[in-house]
Chains A and B, each alone.
Chain A
Amino acid sequence: MLTVIVFLPLLVAVLLAVVPRCSDTAARWVWVGAATIELALIGVVWAGYETPPPGQLAFAERAAWIPGVGSSYHLGVDGLSLPLMAMTAVVFLACAVYALRERHRPRVQASLFLFLQSVCLGVFAAADLILFFVFFDLSIVGMYAVIAGWGHGDRARSALKFFLYTFLGSLALLTGFIGLYAAADPHTFDMPTLTAENPFAGRPLAGGVVLAAILIGLAVKTPTVPFHTWLPPAHTDAPAVGSAVLAGVLLKLGTYGFVRIAAPMLPQAWRGWAWVIVAVGVVSVLYGALVALAQTNLKRMIAYTSINHMGYVVLAVGAAGLVSVDTVEPRAVAVTGAVTQMVSHGLITSALFLLAGVLYERAGSYDLHAYGGLATPAPIFAAFFAVGAFASLGLPAFSGFIAEFQVFAGSIATAPVTAVALLGILVTAALFLRAGQALLTGPTVGCAKGFGDLRPTELWSVGPLLALSLLIGVLPRPLLDLIEPAARTVVDLLGR
């Protein structure tokens, strides 16, 4: 089942690329169709999912791959990966619908995005470090092609910076993986085995070095301060759907690595580094928010809020490492909040980036001050933007609130000093209100004149994303029921 989910988009991508007589319209609809099937398949998995016992994975599939180096083709899902896979399928479907109006080489674009969907789902489903890395690295190649091929502005330079930066990070990650492999006895790259074995138990120094390599690799991808500098240019110059996937899904590959690999496999070292991780999280939250506040380019602003939002995740997983006896509950809450935040941020930020894409497509500018009074000519756009902004700043009734509430409830109970990161929410609220004000209110001026409202493809791509965020915000239980046992397992593993 998981193999089908992971490789179906790749198969369709290859078919789209090699079948010569495939019209552009057909290619667009094939993409939408494939993305819909993917979502349905993941829905089937979700429906049939039963929480596996700790240390095991549901829907596991395993086959020999390179037995000589202890690497196998091993897939599986649990409460950490399944919500992210579902979110990935939703975001990609939204992008497919949004791109129905794409005019620039739609066939190649569809093929490329299906490839990207395959590798992103592969990262979440992988239960072998090498398999994880293969997909992780290919996501960089795919996104590079998206930015360089369909971006605007100084896209070649931004794409190159993105590639070099994240590739360097992925190599640090690989170094860490080899360290885990060499420390395990017998040598293996299998994730559940490594998690169970805790290969660096009793060797804090070596474990710390290996964790540092893995953390750098993941921090570049996430990105956290100070490894974030590739993100703003990459987002600014990427196409709308590229930004949506980059922020919505690709950033999660980094944060997912924290809860899947770094924390459970190196618990002792993680506890040793927990304060550093918390500090990086807090700095990312505050720095991301403050720099976003200073932006006048809407896309750059959303990009910096991503750094802010990912900061909450890092803060929560860092706080989970501050082990003491009476904080098991709050730490589990923090990890649940972190995973919820990944899902929530994926939905909301993708919607915001798609809306930013609408702005650029209509008027060719992301400058907040070039617009004004958009609410009059484009009421639906204005409503959607307002909803997205409120969801992103963590207003109750949206998924962001559920996530951030848990992150803070867990973190502050574990380490009260982390309350300083609450300032980030305040700044985010200010900047989104200010952006909304500049764009939507007042007399209709500048680029806003003659601004067409959302077309059906835009409506049906952005709308469902926001609706899902609202749904999670109102009815969080189904999602939390899925995440909580897995979060509890992570906290237990960290306590070893």
Chain B
Amino acid sequence: MMRAELLLPEMLLAGGALVVLLGGSFTPRHRQWILRGVAAAVCVTVIITATVALSTPANTAFDGSYAVDTVTGVARILAATGCLLVLALAGDELAGAARESDAYALLLFATAGAVLLAGATDLLALVVGFLLASIPLYALIGLAGTGAGAEAVLKTYLLGALFGILLLFGVTLLSGITGTTAYAELAARLPDAPRSVVTAAAVAVIGGLMFKAGGFPAHFWVPDAAQGGMAMAATFLTTVPKIGALIAIHRLAGVLPGTSNWPTVVVVLAVASMLLGNLAAYWQTDVRRLLGWSTVSQVGYLLVPVVATGRSDLAQPSLLVYLAGYTVTNIAAFAVAAALPRHRDRMSWRGVAATAPWLTTALVVALLGLVGTPPTAVFVGKLTTASAAWDGGYAWLAVVVFINSALSLFYYLRWLVLLYQPWAVAPPDRPGRWSATVAVVAAVLSLVVGVAAGLVWRAAGG
């Protein structure tokens, strides 16, 4: 059955993107902010409809190729919230820019892609979601129009093509040995399939999705894009696509048979992402690049509950809670960086605490939150994901998570401390109004989600 009405939020996103794209062609440049309002309205509508849909029982659409359940519902809300915050943040950077409405349309398209990725329960739908989430990103990064931006977009494009092929290869293998692409049937047929082939296919599919997640081994584009792209693009591409990709990996992990060693694959990717992201962040002086590397390490933490998929009841809710916390906290951190676009070097942040106390507080909450300091949302995420890993028989992985959290503390603090020191030459710039507001709002959200974790947990199906 089609049951297209189930996909109202997805259709809203895609339709809204088209409206913004076409509307942009007929709107004078100084009135393009109207389209920002339209895009924001679309996001708000998506959040509302998705919240309403959460209370309806789980369902599938398009002959079982797309799941409309709690996981998809949470993914819709998170992706739309992320997109909404990025739209607000873009006010400083994009207002009056040449490609303003195009950027909004691209954001909506990419959000739709991320949601499709999260809801796909068919390998082909997964590929469609992957492409829909990827292609707008290339354009978004390229909007910067700078040399660094061009380099970043080329790198992203090449890696995207490479890992897209890897994903397709894995999909081909899986459908080749089972004769189906639907997850429901894959789950039934895969246990009888040759173990080595299934493992190889799992490596290929999960590896391909790691491009969207921005984790090892497909992470090379993340720091470049975070540094070279516009601030709003950096914020978006380190947040929203991850939601789709990690949920997609989680769904896939639920299908793969336990005999195929897929947990080992995910464990390796998780540990490598954490370690690499944290160690690389140590040497960064550009704050956006630093945050870019930090998101790589966050993907490592986010993969931890995936490992426990099928082994612990905590796996799914803890993944969703962590994703919720990560979305708001990461956006808060990037929004602070976006509020002072000329302050790219870490050292130039001296004195910001004196001139912009609210922005500084937001950064304190965001960075300590990313480390996992209570009572922020990421703390609850780290706590529950580590509990899930321990519960699922991977106690040592929980230890690795905490060791890595301790590692990450240093480079976050090194940046934070500078804000409280007196400035050297000139006082820091005035922070951008939109970005600063988004930073504070997102930081408050991160605290609220942490304190109200019980409610979020229930919404996430725990």
A residues apposed to B, CB below 8 Å: 64-69, 130, 133-134, 137-138, 141, 148-149, 156, 160, 163-164, 167-168, 171-172, 174-175, 178-179, 181-182, 187
Tell which of B136-144, B236-244, B368-376 binds the partner: B368-376
Min CB gap A189→B, angstroms: 9
Please report whether the interface of chain B is mostly helix, strand, loop or mixed according to DSSP.
Answer: helix
Q: In the complex, A67 Cα to B410 Cα: how many Å?
A: 33
Contact partners of A148 in chain B: CB under 8 A: 417, 420
Contact yes or no, B454 A67, CB < 8 A: yes
In the complex, the 8 A-B pairs of residues with the closest C-beta atoms, listed nearest first: A68-B462, A134-B374, A68-B457, A171-B402, A182-B390, A168-B406, A66-B454, A66-B453
* A134/B402 contact (C-beta < 8 A), A65-B454, A167-B409 known: no
Quick check: B387 and A178 within 8 Å, CB to CB?
yes
Complex interface: chain B residues within 8 A of A68 (CB): 314, 317, 384, 454, 457-458, 462
Once the chains are docked, how many angstroms separate the CA of A181 from the CA of B389? 12
* Chain B positions within 8 Å of A64 at CB level: 454
A179's contact among B375, B395, B454, by CB below 8 Å, is which? B395
Residue contact A69 to B457, C-beta cutoff 8 Å: yes
26 CB-based A-B contacts, threshold 8 Å: A65-B453, A65-B454, A66-B384, A66-B454, A68-B384, A68-B462, A69-B383, A69-B462, A130-B383, A133-B374, A138-B374, A141-B373, A148-B417, A163-B409, A164-B413, A167-B371, A168-B406, A171-B405, A171-B406, A174-B402, A175-B402, A178-B383, A178-B387, A178-B398, A179-B390, A182-B391
Known: A69-B457, A171-B402. A187 touches B391 (CB 8 A): yes
What is the bound-complex CA distance between A182 and B409, given in angstroms?
26
Residues of A within 8 A of B50 (CB): none
Q: Which B residues fall within an 8 A CB radius of A?
A: 314, 317, 368, 371, 373-375, 379-380, 383-384, 386-387, 390-391, 395, 398-399, 402-403, 405-406, 409-410, 413, 417, 420, 453-454, 457-458, 462
Question: Is there contact, CB below 8 Å, between A138 and B402?
Answer: no
Q: In the complex, what residues of B have CB within 8 A of residue A171's CB? A: 402-403, 405-406
Chain B residues, Cβ within 8 Å of A137: 373-374, 379
Collect the chain B residues with CB atoms within 8 Å of residue A65's CB. Answer: 453-454
Least Cβ distance of B71 to chain A in Å? 15
User: Which A residue sits closest to B375, measured CB to CB?
Assistant: A134
Known A148-B417, A163-B413, A182-B387; further 18 A-B contacts with Cβ < 8 A:
A66-B453, A66-B454, A66-B457, A67-B458, A68-B457, A68-B462, A130-B383, A133-B374, A137-B374, A138-B375, A148-B420, A164-B413, A171-B402, A171-B403, A175-B402, A178-B387, A182-B395, A187-B387
Question: A172 with B402: in contact, given A137-B373, A178-B390, A179-B390 (CB under 8 Å)?
Answer: yes
**Chain A residues near B368 (CB-CB < 8 A):** 141
CA A65 – CA B386 in complex, angstroms? 18
Bound-state CA distance A160–B420 (Å) is: 14
In whole Å, how far is A183's beta carbon from the nearest beta carbon of chain B?
9
| Chain B neighbourhood of A149, CB < 8 A | 420
Q: How many angstroms between the C-alpha atoms of A5 and B346 in the bound complex?
A: 41
Contact of A164 among B314, B395, B410, B417 (CB under 8 A): B410
Q: How far is the CA of A181 from the CA of B402 in the complex (A)?
A: 16
Kindly list chain A residues whose C-beta atoms are within 8 Å of the C-beta of B398: 175, 178
- CA of A149 to CA of B398, assembled, Å: 34
Contact for B399 among A133, A175, A187, CB less than 8 A: A175
In this complex, the member of A64, A163, A178 whose beta carbon has the largest number of chain B beta carbons within 10 angstroms is: A178
Contact indicator B391/A164 (Cβ below 8 Å): no
The winner among B373, B383, B384, B458 for most chain A CB atoms within 10 A is B383
Chain A hits for B454, CB < 8 A: 64-68
Query: Inside 8 A of A179's CB, which chain B residues have their CB?
Result: 390, 395
B453 CB, min distance to chain A CBs, angstroms: 5
Q: How far is the CB of A122 from chain B (nearest CB, A)?
A: 11
Give the distance in Å from the alpha carbon of A344 to the alpha carbon of B403 in the complex. Answer: 35
Q: What residues on B are CB-neighbors of A130 within 8 Å?
A: 374, 383
Residue of B nearest to A134 (CB): B374
What's the least CB distance linking A218 to chain B, in Å? 15
Complex Cα distance, B390 from A66, in Å, reads 18
Instruction: Tell me the smallest distance from the CB of A192 to a CB of chain B, in Å.
Output: 20
Q: Name the B residues within 8 Å of A168 (CB-CB).
A: 406
Distance between A404 CB and nearest chain B CB, rounded to angstroms: 35
A148 CA / B417 CA spacing, docked (Å): 8
Q: How far is the CA of A309 from the CA of B405 in the complex (A)?
A: 32
Residues of chain A within 8 A of B405, CB atoms compared: 171
Q: CA separation between A164 and B406, bound complex, in Å?
A: 7
Cα of A137 to Cα of B409 in the assembled complex, Å: 13
CB <8 Å contact, A178 and B417: no
In the complex, what residue of chain A is closest to B403 when comparing beta carbons? A171
Whose C-beta in chain B lies nearest to the C-beta of A64? B454
The residue that B417 contacts in the complex, of A66, A134, A160, A181, with Cβ under 8 A, is: A160
Distance in Å: Cβ of A100 to nearest Cβ of chain B: 25
Bound-state Cα–Cα, A299 to B314, Å: 48
Residues of chain A with a CB closer than 8 A to B406's CB: 164, 167-168, 171
- Name the distance in Å between A11's Cβ and chain B's nearest Cβ: 15
A138 engages B373 (CB within 8 Å): yes
Q: For residue A181, which residue of chain B has the nearest CB?
A: B387
Chain A hits for B453, CB < 8 A: 65-66
Minimum CB–CB distance from A302 to chain B (whole Å) comes to: 27
Complex Cα gap A127–B247 (Å):
35
CB pair A174–B457 under 8 Å, yes or no, is: no
Compute how far the CA of A67 lies from the CA of B371 in the bound complex, rounded to whole angstroms: 24
* Minimum Cβ distance to chain A for residue B27 (Å): 40
How distant is A137 from chain B, measured CB to nearest CB, in Å? 5
Query: Across the two chains, which residue of chain A brings its CB closest to B312?
Result: A182
| Chain A residues whose C-beta falls within 8 Å of the C-beta of B458 in the assembled complex | 67-68
Complex: A69 Cα to B313 Cα, angstroms: 10
Give the shortest distance, in Å, between A52 (CB) and chain B (any CB). 27
Closest-by-CB residue of B relative to A67 is B454
CA distance A321 to B29 in the complex (A): 77
A69 touches B410 (CB 8 A): no
Complex interface: chain B residues within 8 A of A69 (CB) = 314, 383-384, 387, 457, 462
Chain B residue with Cβ nearest A171: B402
Contact B387–A174 (Cβ < 8 Å): no
- B318 and chain A: residue at smallest CB distance: A69
Assembly CA distance A181 to B380 (angstroms): 15
The complex places the Cα of A163 from the Cα of B398 at a distance, in Å, of: 21
Tell me which of B399, B402, B405 has the highest count of chain A C-beta atoms within 10 A of its own C-beta.
B402
Residues of B within 8 A of A167 (CB): 371, 406, 409
Q: Is the CB of B413 within 8 A of A160?
A: yes
Give chain B nearest CB distance to A312 CB in angstroms. 30
Q: How far apart sit A31 and B406, CA to CA, in the bound complex (Å)? A: 33
CA of A287 to CA of B397 in the docked complex: distance in angstroms?
36
A149 to B354, CA, bound (A): 13
- Chain B residue at minimum C-beta to C-beta distance from A159: B417
Considering the chains assembled together, what is the distance between the CA atoms of A187 and B313 in angstroms? 11
Which residues does chain A contribute within 8 Å of B374, judged by CB atoms?
130, 133-134, 137-138
Shortest distance between the CB of B153 and any CB in chain A (Å):
38
A67, A134, A148, A160: which has the most chain B beta carbons within 10 Å? A134
Chain B residues lying within 8 Å of A66, measured Cβ to Cβ, are 380, 384, 453-454, 457
Q: Nearest chain A CB to B192's CB is how many angstroms away?
A: 33
> Please, which residues of chain A bring their CB within 8 A of the CB of B417?
148, 156, 160
Interchain nearest-CB distance for A167 vs B (Å): 6
Smallest Cβ-Cβ distance to B404: which chain A residue: A171
State the CA gap A64–B451 with chains docked (Å): 12
Smallest Cβ distance from B392 to chain A, in angstroms? Answer: 9
Q: Which residue of B lies closest to A213 (CB)?
A: B399
CA distance A172 to B405 in the complex (A): 11
A residues within 8 A CB of B314? 68-69
Chain B residues, Cβ within 8 Å of A175:
386, 398-399, 402
Residue on B with the closest CB to A163?
Answer: B413
CB proximity of B261 to chain A, nearest CB, Å: 24
CA distance A137 to B380 in the complex (A): 13
Q: How far is the CB of B200 from chain A (nearest CB, A)?
A: 33
Q: Whole-angstrom distance from the CB of A279 to the nearest CB of chain B?
A: 25
Shortest Cβ gap from A3 to chain B (Å): 14
